[in-house]
Amino acid sequence: MTDITTLPASAATPATRSKTFNYQRWLNRSLHYLVLSALAVITVYPFWWTLVTAVSTAGKVYAFPPALLPTEPGLQNFLEVFQTINVWAFYKNSILISGATVVGTLIICSLAAYPIARMRFAGRNFVFGAIVATMILPSEVNFLINFITVSKLGLTDTISGVVLPNLAGAVGIFLMKQAFEAVPQDLIDAAKVDGANEWEVFWKIMLPLAKPALGALAILTLVSAWNQYIWPSIVMTSVENFPLSVGVSYLKGAFSFKTRLVAAGAVLTVLPILIMFLFTQRYFLRGFEGAVK
C-alpha cells in the first residue's frame, strides 16, 4: 500500500479520471461485498442454525423456511444437557488435556530448537533433517501403532496417553528455531563473557526474546489440542475421561432424537474456542509467516 504513495505524482490516476469512474467503483464494491456475503453465509449459516436451535425452546426444529431467529429463547436446553450428562467433566478433561499439551509443547519444542538454532555440535544436520522428515511421514496412520504403544505403556484412558504423542511437533520446533535465530549474537556473546552457561543463555535471553513466537505456538497448539478428536476417542475409554470433542459425539448418541440438546452440546463444545479465536484472530489469519515455507 505504501508503494502507491511513493509513486511520482504524474503516475497516479488523475483526479478527473477517478471522478468519472466513481459510479463504476461503487458498483464494483457492492458486487464485491455481495460475493463476500454470499460466501460467508455458506460458512456461517450451519453454525447459526445450530445456535438458533440450541437457544430456542419452542416451535418445530426442522421448520421451513428455517427460523433465522430463535423462538422463545432460553437456556433450558443447556440446563437439560448439564442435568443429564456431566458436561463439567468434559470441560475439565478438555482443559487438562489442552493445558498439558500447550505447556509440554512449549517446553519440549523450545528446548529442542535452541541447540539447532544456535549451537554447533556433531549430527546437527542429521537431527534437524530427521525432525523435518517427520512432516513428510504419513503421520495420520500413526494412531494405529501409537494405540499399541500407549496400551503397552499402560497409558490407555489417561491424559498422558492423549498428550504425549503430540508434544514434539516439527512445526513447533521449526517456529522456535526461527525465533531463536533472530536473536542477535552480541547478546549471547555478552552473556557468555559474563560467565553465563548455555542453560542460562537459553532461560534468561532466548526465551524472553522469543515470547511472541511462544505466544503464537501456544495459541495454535491450544486450538489443535482442544479440537483433536480421533486420537482422544481412541485413548479414552471411559465416559468420565472424555474431552468435549469426544463428549459431543457421545451426547449425540445419548440424545439421538433430541436435536435441541445435541445442538446445545455442540454449542457448549465450540464456544470456548470460538471466543478465543475471535480475540486471537491475527495469529491464524495473518499467515504463519515463516511456518508456511
Residues 70-109 that bind other proteins (CB under 8 A): 107-109
Residue 132 binds to other proteins (criterion: CB under 8 A): no
Nearer to other proteins by Cβ, of 88 and 121: the residue is 121
Q: How far apart (Å, rounded) are the C-alpha atoms in residues 180 and 228?
A: 29
Taking CB under 8 A as the criterion, the residue among 45, 184, 190, 237 binding other proteins is 45
Is-contact 227 266, C-beta < 8 A?
no
Residue list 210-229, contact with other proteins (CB under 8 A):
223, 226-229
# residues near other proteins by CB under 8 A:
96
Find all residues with CB under 8 Å of 175, minimum gap 6, and list them.
109, 113, 213, 216, 217, 288, 290, 291
Cell of 80: 437439560
User: Which region among 17-25, 35-43, 75-83, 85-93 touches other proteins (by CB under 8 A)?
Assistant: 35-43
Residue list 155-214, contact with other proteins (CB under 8 A):
164-165, 167-168, 173, 198, 202
Taking CB under 8 A as the criterion, the residue among 27, 79, 132, 148 binding other proteins is 148
Residue 248 binds to other proteins (criterion: CB under 8 A): yes
Cell of 119: 549451537
Taking CB under 8 A as the criterion, the residue among 29, 192, 204, 211 binding other proteins is 29
Residue 43 binds to other proteins (criterion: CB under 8 A): yes
